[in-house]
Chain A
Amino acid sequence: MEMENALRAPLRGQVVEKSRGSNGGPASGRKRSGREAMELCFHLLFLLCGVVAVAFVLFISIYLIVAGLPAIREIGLVNFLFGKTWAPTATTVEPSYGILPFILTSIYGTAGAVLIGVPIGLMTAIFLAKVAPPRAARIIKTAVELLAGIPSVVYGLVGMIVLVPAIRKAFGLSSGACLLAAIVVLAIMILPSIINVSETALRAVPQEYEEASLALGATEIETYFRVSLPAASSGVATAVVLGVGRAIGEAMAIIMVAGNVANMPGLFTSVRFLTTAIASEMSYAAYGSLQRNALYSIGLVLFLFIMLINVLLNVFIKNRKED
């Protein structure tokens, strides 16, 4: 009886009231407030954990803005964002701090990786969720999960030893370390995240939708592409966001395969991403120098990019939901 009352009354005060009222006695009252105290404690603990997460994001954002603005002010926003040469250690000429090559390289690299990775990932997810016989599905799922666990350095190593010479021989270039190698490595890296989340989303599509579609005469493939996939679209969009986030933030794997020269991007030119620009120079940029502050500004630009992509994709998801 008390349990029912407790369940029916959502407000803590009401619960206390009702249980006090139904039982009276001071001893049971104390036991109840002891339990209430525990509840309160745990609620506070959960609140604290949530606040910690928000605090971290806020702290990182504020730190990046504070650290990144001085260099942008000194270099000039237009010169910084749209300058085509990055040469902060030049001694015979004026040092230049233009990061347009990095921005374009990151955009092209991520776009390329998503263009290759998303179709392959989606098809694999459909295969795993709908088409594959259970044993094959288990084997492939294990392989995908192993792929997700491989550290990015290993991807870079394999890319450097296998992929770069292969690209060099296949296209007759002088050096295989180029944007193409980075795109291939990034595509393979984002596959597991896309596959896992899309597969979960596809499995969550109610069977009634598919049965209805099949009953109306559609083939299985038509059903998957025209009914299941749109129904799972918010999950798929989440998968793409995850993939894009991983691709745009990757530094270690591509530092070994992309060549790291600050050129304007081209499919077969040696390029440097926003992430590798920070990683390659941070260790020796002197404290307080314009070069170090410019690296913080690159970090700020990267951060804003990721925020922008997340916001855009979330807006896209919301629009699809409302459709």
Chain B
Amino acid sequence: MKKAFALLLTLALSASVLAGCGSSKTEQPTENNDTQAEQPAALSGSVATNGSTSMEKVIGALSEQFMADNSGVTVTYDATGSGAGIEAVSNGSADIGLSSRALKDEETASGLVGTTVALDGIAVIVNADSKVADLTVEQIAKIFTGEITDWSEVGGDAGAISCIGREAGSGIRDGFESITGTKDTCVLAQELTSTGAVIEAVAGNPNAIGYASLSAVEGKDTVKAVTVGGVACSEETVLDGSYEIQRPFVLVTKDGVALSAQAQAFFDFATSADANDLIRAAGAVPVAK
């Protein structure tokens, strides 16, 4: 009796392992009526994207649309951070690297090519219960370098400020520090490794201040984005440049290495004007005309 039961259970579990196999998509597009050119042969295979955690929503929207249009292709996204994404495309373990900062000189010198696909505002976030609503870039710089240590100095309730930042290879950290002029001088209370972790840390600590991508912060009510110099962070202010703290979303590829057909198709789709609405909906500012 026990043996029979054990055997049955084993068979059921093995069957469920096999249930994951097979790549059939239950929703086939009934008609391919978008403005893309009809591909002569259906694309198939996988596209590996790797990098910035800030670009999660944008890449999510783009890859969902691309996979719906090309049912044989799987687009994967590894949220490892801009530095890791650049390294991945450099050593060939990813097709397209995602970086939320412009490439550095030594990176372009080593053969990497960056294509800007969108602009993103870096929202400076505080806890939703904080009284502070506006900070200037100088105040933000002083807070993060440790010159201003108490919230009462910038208009909030008294309390020691806790600065939450990102790891050293992060794209958003690079963008934030170069615009606020705090490179190598930030005094952080925590160095976290993803956008989501920063938002969670700020949401859980009334004394915390941090920075995260606008696309990740929009619509969240646990954190509040302060206005920088009176300018709120939104797609319009990022596009016309009035919101100072912004950086590009860059697709990184390797010069001289041809992308696979499906990866090239995804790249072309992401940088084309067809993707603008998706990028806008995800919270970033498209640059394709």
Chain A interfacial positions (CB closer than 8 Å to B): 87-93, 160-161, 164-165, 168, 173-177, 255-256, 259-261, 270, 272, 280-281, 283-287
Contact = CB atoms under 8 A, between A and B. Distances in A.
B91 interface: yes
A256 B193 CA distance: 9
A283 B191 contact: no
Nearest to A173: B160
A261 B162 CA distance: 13
Contacts of B80: 283-284
A161 B189 CA distance: 17
Nearest to A292: B87
Given A92-B183, A165-B204, A174-B160, A281 B190 contact: no
A284 B183 contact: no
Nearest to A283: B84
A88 B168 CA distance: 9
Given A174-B160, A283-B80, A284-B169, A255 B90 contact: no
A286 B90 contact: yes
A255 B184 contact: no
B86 interface: yes
For chain B, the bracket of interface size reads 20 to 34
Nearest to B170: A284
Closest 3 CB pairs of A and B: A284-B83, A284-B169, A283-B84
A286 B87 contact: yes
Contact of B188 (A89, A168, A270): A270
16 contacts: A88-B168, A161-B204, A175-B190, A176-B205, A259-B191, A260-B193, A261-B188, A261-B189, A281-B167, A281-B169, A283-B80, A283-B83, A284-B81, A284-B82, A285-B87, A287-B90
A283 B80 CA distance: 7
Contact of A174 (B159, B169, B183): B159
B63 interface: no
B208 interface: yes
A91 B174 CA distance: 11
A175 B208 CA distance: 8
B234 interface: no
Given A89-B168, A89-B169, A284 B86 contact: yes
A260 B208 CA distance: 16
Contacts of A165: 204-205
B87 A284 contact: yes
Interface string B217-233: 00000000000000000
Contacts of A255: 193
A284 B86 CA distance: 8
Given A175-B207, A284-B83, 6 more contacts: A89-B169, A174-B207, A175-B190, A259-B189, A281-B168, A284-B82
Contact of A283 (B81, B189, B208): B81
A291 to B, nearest CB: 9
B192 interface: yes
Interface string B116-146: 0000000000000000000000000000000
Nearest to A87: B184
Contacts of A259: 189-191
Given A175-B189, A281-B169, A90 B184 contact: yes
